[in-house]
Structure 1
Amino acid sequence: MLDKIIPEIGHFALILALLMATLQATVPLAGAATRRPLWMAFARPMASGQFLFLLLAYLCLTASFMIDDFSVAYVANNSNSMLPWYYKFSAVWGSHEGSVLLWSLLMGGWGFAVSRFSAQLPRDMLARVLGVMGWVSVGFILFILITSNPFERLLPDVPQDGADLNPLLQDFGLIIHPPMLYMGYVGFSVVFAFAIAALLGGRLDAAWTRWARPWTNIAWAFLTVGIALGSWWAYYELGWGGWWFWDPVENASLLPWLAGTALMHSLAVTEKRGSFKSWTVLLAIITFSLSLLGTFLVRSGVLTSVHAFANDPARGTFILVLLGLTVGLSLLIFALRAPRVSHIVGFSWLSRDALLLANNILLVIMTVTVLLGTVYPLLLDALGMGKISVGPPYFNTLFVPLTVLLCIVMGLGPVARWKRMPGRELFRRLVWAGLGALVLAAVLPLLYTGEWNLWVSLGLATALWLVLSLMRDLTDKLRNASSPGAGLRRLTPAYWGMWLGHLGLAVTIVGVTVVSHYNVERNVRMAPGDSVEVAGYTFTMQELRERRGPNFIADTATIAVSQAGEHAFTMHPEKRLYLARGMPMTDVALRPGLLRDLYVAMGEDLGDGAWALRIQYKPFVRWLWLGGLLMALGGIVAVVDRRYRRVRETAAQARFEEAQA
């Protein structure tokens, strides 16, 4: 009997979550404004209650998928009785309604985490932070209940079976990529809430940045992993062999990442030197606003993309209104409050302060570049001024030079001192790193292929400059220590986080550079017994056979790969036909390696037992995602820094500074 009313329980839990979020959004903020401790105390239990009811709603939707309740329209449209259980589990967020429910659940989870791990914050500050997060939750839960209810029934005409999950999504990538990406998107709501709370409370000091930095780093790390997983998923799932297409939906995730990167660096300056206060708050607002913009682009139906949820414009209108209210109200609060609580801190134009400012400016220019290339064609179309296509040539022409400039500044930053540094000393410290990067970048392409390539040398010089400047900075710190082990003990997790983050970017640049210029691709016609040579490997098709999976049938090729005349391994690319939807899909055969991937994808059946195959040799492609993981690890390591655990002392300091003011 209980299984018959699971959707109703989930729907009712959503309504209760909305009530909890509404109380969280109103009572604590009113209490902070009127200094009523009892009202402010509402924040924590309401955040916990909202999260628990959202979790109940999510579990109810998951249960409907697992028991094949096709009376629920969302289940009927995105599942099938033959679908493996693990894909039923991930199908919960495989389309619009469920993914928004996951977004709201994660939003509630972040609020619950803030309420649990920030208990030592000043009471009014915690009330304002959770109150702001409550307002965002109200918007998204209303969005679900009004336009995107995942519990709608198909009574009395219940289908015998479901339409199945989109075959593109029947992959391990769906299980891990969206949750990671959404954790990053939603995580930036925390630093947004801290920024608005600081403005409302008149507390733009080092204390609020110290409270906000760990949450920013964690959200940025999740978003970094999410973007890397999305790139990896597209690489092996779509059969093209590419890793980034400058697709508008891909750009939608890159925008908050770029702004969030600028925000992390700006928070460091505000905490250390007390400068960039207003700029840091503005970046927090911009970063979360870009997360909401990405949600609008994906769910409004204005984009045509393999990644987008093509939904009705009513949903897009709702999110656009939510985006407008969030951006408009937060900028209004910023305009009214920021001038009163900020002040100017002087610094030399040759210092770490100035270099981090240059870093911020470049990241913002890169963000605007991607934003214009993504949104401008949509605006022209919406205004009836024609259709234009903005593709890789635009983005590569502008983005690559900006990345090189950014890396030059990043190499200087760690070595420079705060406030002021003589130019002669900075030059002396880094001259050998610069010369070493140029020499190695010129020689390595010759050693790798026997030919020199300007663009490869430029990319390698950029990466080597980052690595060698990091090594110089680390060497200086160890050399200046009083004893051999003291230097390492003095290096904080925040320093190692920076080190790993910059190293990860260098590794990614190497991967991008090498695979972009030395990738080898051949499109061939092959039948059993045919052979072809690609990049020193011989690929021989041995047989073709038909294989039946749980919900598909597949034509499978067996391809023997040999090198220097000796058999090395066997690959099995497939062309699948998913039975419920009648949709064909390519299942790529990959032979991964640290220094190269071999990639085989089946195309069309050419008749007479022959198939079109795409065979690729992709050097250093794994370094793209390895670099992303190193960057994310750097963000996590920085959070371990001891000063972020001293919340009680920071809160006491904030109260003292408030009393002094």
Structure 2
Amino acid sequence: MPIGHPRGPPYNEFMITELGHFCLILAFLTACFQAIVPLIGAHNRWQGWMMSAVPAATLQFLLTLTAFGALTVAFIGSDFSVRLVVLNSHSVKPMLYKITGVWGNHEGSMLLWVLIVTLFGGFVAWFGSALPDSLRARVLSVQGAIAVAFFAFILFSSNPFLRMAVPPFDGQDLNPLLQDPGLAFHPPFLYLGYVGLSMSYSFAVAALIEGRIDAAWGRWVRPYTLAAWIFLTIGIGLGSWWAYYELGWGGFWFWDPVENASFMPWLLATALLHSAIVVEKRESLKSWTILLAIIAFGFSMIGAFITRSGVITSVHAFAADPERGVFLLAILAFFMLAGLTLFAARAFEMQAKGVFGIVSRESVLVLNNVLLAVAAFVVFVGTIWPLVSELFFDRKLSVGAPFFNLAFTPFMVVLGLILPVGAIFPWKRARLQRSLRPLAPAFVLSVAVAVLIWAMQTERSALGPIGFFLGAWLVSGAVVDLMTRTGRGGGRLGRLRRLPRADWGKAVAHAGLGVTMAGVAGLLAWEAEDIRVAQVGERFEVAGYGLTLRSVREIEGPNYVAVQADVALDRAGVGFTVLQPEKRIYPVAGMPTTEAAIDNGFFRDVYVVIGDPQDDGGWVVRTYYKPFANWIWGGAILMALGGALSLSDRRYRVAAGAKKTQAKAVAAK
């Protein structure tokens, strides 16, 4: 096609797109270099070869960033000579969704995936000077090998820079469900978590190759795992929030396969964080921690396979291409087999040094790990069982929320019970009665909260009281944990302020889990639902709130048309707000979406959805009363904040470097 074709891109945009494609190929070649040369250098102790990993990781990131930027320019400029832009954009789409359209599809999301792989490798290159040179070289080589696999996947089966032979005048638009602020930011955070676990895998494999797993290794791997866990927590929270208000069902979690694909790595990453603490503090659980690091990244790749292979149906899977699924399955098999083979070969060298009693913090952390790992396995079985049933038994079935709630909930209940106990137990050996004495007020408070909830509720369901007991237990246990670290006597407030940020982070994260547990239990126990045909001007009541359908009209958005209703909300006849739910139609995509209107409150949400018109002139109106809904996401924010506080602890930045400096000084003497 000539450059001057009226439907072709401007010359500058054409060149930028080609530059992006060229940089992607160069990044692939750089990753090949990074995967091989530093590894050979570390084996032979060739300093120059080992140090080549640092500029290679930097160059690889910059090249990938340039490729990603070029694709973003193509979307912003509506370059319809690029096939991906045609399939996922439109000239009248709002600018925010033009940008987010870059990763709102399979090819662009995989480019974002590999960009984050190179970003984490860059962090080790830029801030890993405290690491031994041989370990850093091996870590970057493994990270480079991961990048090689995904660059190959992109270039040979999912190239985002493919051209159209005859560019159309306009695009086919992005999936309307993805044209939402929640989904605009959900994938990047989720990928930062998913892909961040590749760093834990790289550290684990590098340590296996080097034959050195000690307390220093535990300290080095924890910040990267913690960063991945924080991003994964935020990403899952954003996805849950989006499902709640966008899909119009009033639910925050449906145990959808794609939801499970992100939840399983989160459970394993949580276990990995706790086991790495034992490696760092006591040099125990080495084998288990290495195994968790390998499996956690494996589950993140299983998530990529589930969302892109089409083997399992989901409302928000990216692609359904068996050929791509086989490619991803091959990548998963290679890295899992490589990691587990190394693990088996080195298992005899990972001897635990620290010994501990049955009643100790180590024992509680072991139980914590077992609960999280088994819970992840339960979710995995429930997610893939429909596929197994169809392949081997020729039976089509679905595994829904009843199975997951019944099989998964007991593990979380036990986990909630033991977390405050483990936080307050000393290392190595604890006296049960003496250690539990400070938690007695927290336990009494939690029981009181549960009894109060039981007395207040109208239906005799145990879900609400149990959930609020666990929530109060975790929050009050976190407070007790902080207070016990300040000692006795005067000046406790000052000592509390001087506690390490990691201690504050642990307490805030545990309290956040308690808030989320209470929110989930309260919502499921006491939610109310009303579906009716309402006439304009009609008033009806739901859970003590009055709703009046005042009017319904058609409106026009930038790239959609919608039916919008005015629903007045009152309490005991006193009005206090007007909700405006919408039902949108995107003409280009030909797809409707539901835009719920929600009156948010600290203790409850009132959630209204407008449906289809009826023959008698009425409209279908769905109303949900959602108690404690916002506690779910408030708890997620607290968990992420707790992780960020721990990550900001200066001991992560200083101690490892001090250890290396000390080691060099000893070597010099």
Larger mean Cα displacement after TM superposition, 322-331 or 456-465: 456-465
The Cα of 1:366 is off from its aligned counterpart by 0.5
Q: Which amino acid aligns with 1:23?
A: F
Q: Does 1:218 align with 2:227?
A: yes
Aligned to 2:515: 507
The Cα of 1:432 is off from its aligned counterpart by 3.6
The Cα of 1:10 is off from its aligned counterpart by 1.4
What SS does structure 1 have at the residue aligned with 2:531? Answer: strand
Q: Does 1:363 align with 2:372?
A: yes
Aligned to 1:559: 567
Aligned to 1:641: 649
Residues of 2 paired with 1:650 and 1:159: CA distance? 61
Aligned to 1:582: 590
Residues of 2 paired with 1:462 and 1:654: CA distance? 46
Aligned to 2:111: 101
What SS does structure 2 have at the residue aligned with 1:554? Answer: strand
Aligned to 1:80: 90
Aligned to 2:17: 7
Residues of 2 paired with 1:380 and 1:269: CA distance? 39
CA contact (8 A) 1:480 1:487 kept: no
The Cα of 1:357 is off from its aligned counterpart by 0.7
In structure 2, do the counterparts of structure 1 residues 659 and 613 end up closer, same or farther at CA, with 3 Å as the change threshold? Answer: farther
Q: Which amino acid aligns with 1:597?
A: D
The Cα of 1:105 is off from its aligned counterpart by 0.9
Aligned to 2:527: 519
Aligned to 1:296: 305
The Cα of 1:174 is off from its aligned counterpart by 2.2
In structure 2, do the counterparts of structure 1 residues 442 and 452 end up closer, same or farther at CA, with 3 Å as the change threshold? Answer: farther
- Could you list the per-position Cα deviations for residues 247-276 of structure 1 after superposition, in whole angstroms to 9, with x for gaps in the alignment? 111001000000000000001111011111
Aligned residues: 658
Residues of 1 paired with 2:664 and 2:422: CA distance? 33
What SS does structure 2 have at the residue aligned with 1:544? Answer: strand
What SS does structure 2 have at the residue aligned with 1:414? Answer: helix
Correspondence 1:457-468 to 2 at 5 A: 457-468=465-476
In structure 2, do the counterparts of structure 1 residues 656 and 332 end up closer, same or farther at CA, with 3 Å as the change threshold? Answer: farther
Aligned to 1:442: 451
Residues of 2 paired with 1:53 and 1:474: CA distance? 46
What SS does structure 1 have at the residue aligned with 2:551? Answer: strand
Residues of 2 paired with 1:27 and 1:656: CA distance? 29
The Cα of 1:605 is off from its aligned counterpart by 2.0
Aligned to 1:528: 536
- Could you list the per-position Cα deviations for residues 64-114 of structure 1 after superposition, in whole angstroms to 9, with x for gaps in the alignment? 111111111111111111111111000001110000001111111111112
The Cα of 1:489 is off from its aligned counterpart by 4.7
Q: Does 1:178 align with 2:170?
A: no
CA contact (8 A) 2:482 2:503 kept: no
The Cα of 1:609 is off from its aligned counterpart by 3.4
Correspondence 1:259-658 to 2 at 5 A: 259-383=268-392, 385-447=394-456, 449=457, 452-480=460-488, 483-485=491-493, 487-646=495-654, 647-652=656-661
Residues of 2 paired with 1:532 and 1:593: CA distance? 20
In structure 2, do the counterparts of structure 1 residues 464 and 657 end up closer, same or farther at CA, with 3 Å as the change threshold? Answer: farther
- Could you list the per-position Cα deviations for residues 507-540 of structure 1 after superposition, in whole angstroms to 9, with x for gaps in the alignment? 0011001110111110011231111111222111
What SS does structure 2 have at the residue aligned with 1:5? Answer: helix
What SS does structure 1 have at the residue aligned with 2:384? Answer: helix
Q: Which amino acid aligns with 2:515?
A: V
CA contact (8 A) 2:504 2:646 kept: yes
The Cα of 1:59 is off from its aligned counterpart by 1.0
Q: Which amino acid aligns with 2:606?
A: L
Residues of 2 paired with 1:188 and 1:599: CA distance? 37
What are structure 1's unaligned runs of at least 5 residues?
A: none
The Cα of 1:475 is off from its aligned counterpart by 2.7
CA contact (8 A) 1:48 1:112 kept: yes
The Cα of 1:641 is off from its aligned counterpart by 1.6
Q: Which amino acid aligns with 2:198?
A: S
The Cα of 1:657 is off from its aligned counterpart by 9.8
The Cα of 1:482 is off from its aligned counterpart by 6.9
Larger mean Cα displacement after TM superposition, 469-478 or 33-42: 469-478
CA contact (8 A) 1:303 1:310 kept: no
Residues of 2 paired with 1:218 and 1:578: CA distance? 38
CA contact (8 A) 1:224 1:631 kept: yes
CA contact (8 A) 1:446 1:452 kept: no
CA contact (8 A) 2:42 2:134 kept: yes
Residues of 2 paired with 1:483 and 1:158: CA distance? 72
What SS does structure 1 have at the residue aligned with 2:395? Answer: coil
Aligned to 2:156: 146
What SS does structure 2 have at the residue aligned with 1:612? Answer: strand
CA contact (8 A) 1:605 1:611 kept: yes
The Cα of 1:490 is off from its aligned counterpart by 4.7
Residues of 1 paired with 2:77 and 2:632: CA distance? 40
Residues of 2 paired with 1:207 and 1:113: CA distance? 18
What are structure 2's unaligned runs of at least 5 residues?
A: 1-10
Residues of 1 paired with 2:163 and 2:503: CA distance? 54
- Could you list the per-position Cα deviations for residues 598-622 of structure 1 after superposition, in whole angstroms to 9, with x for gaps in the alignment? 1111122213432111111111100
Aligned to 1:29: 39
Larger mean Cα displacement after TM superposition, 180-189 or 522-531: 522-531
- Could you list the per-position Cα deviations for residues 407-429 of structure 1 after superposition, in whole angstroms to 9, with x for gaps in the alignment? 11112111111101112213433
Larger mean Cα displacement after TM superposition, 212-221 or 607-616: 607-616
Aligned to 1:237: 246
CA contact (8 A) 1:255 1:367 kept: yes
Aligned to 1:227: 236
CA contact (8 A) 2:481 2:507 kept: no
Residues of 1 paired with 2:664 and 2:393: CA distance? 55
Aligned to 1:119: 129
CA contact (8 A) 2:534 2:549 kept: yes
In structure 2, do the counterparts of structure 1 residues 563 and 343 end up closer, same or farther at CA, with 3 Å as the change threshold? Answer: closer
Residues of 1 paired with 2:427 and 2:489: CA distance? 19
CA contact (8 A) 2:607 2:624 kept: yes
Residues of 1 paired with 2:547 and 2:475: CA distance? 38
Q: Which amino acid aligns with 1:422?
A: R
What SS does structure 1 have at the residue aligned with 2:427? Answer: coil
- Could you list the per-position Cα deviations for residues 569-604 of structure 1 after superposition, in whole angstroms to 9, with x for gaps in the alignment? 111111111111221211111111221111111122
What SS does structure 2 have at the residue aligned with 1:383? Answer: helix
Q: Which amino acid aligns with 2:520?
A: V
Aligned to 1:56: 66
Residues of 2 paired with 1:17 and 1:650: CA distance? 34
RMSD: 1.8
Residues of 1 paired with 2:492 and 2:613: CA distance? 66
- Could you list the per-position Cα deviations for residues 104-142 of structure 1 after superposition, in whole angstroms to 9, with x for gaps in the alignment? 111111111121111232111110111110000000111
What SS does structure 2 have at the residue aligned with 1:243? Answer: coil
Residues of 2 paired with 1:6 and 1:305: CA distance? 35
What SS does structure 1 have at the residue aligned with 2:423? Answer: coil
Q: Which amino acid aligns with 2:297?
A: F
Residues of 2 paired with 1:167 and 1:107: CA distance? 29
CA contact (8 A) 2:482 2:496 kept: no
Residues of 2 paired with 1:150 and 1:642: CA distance? 41
| TM-score normalized by the length of structure 1 | 0.97
CA contact (8 A) 1:207 1:654 kept: no
CA contact (8 A) 2:386 2:397 kept: yes
What SS does structure 1 have at the residue aligned with 2:424? Answer: coil
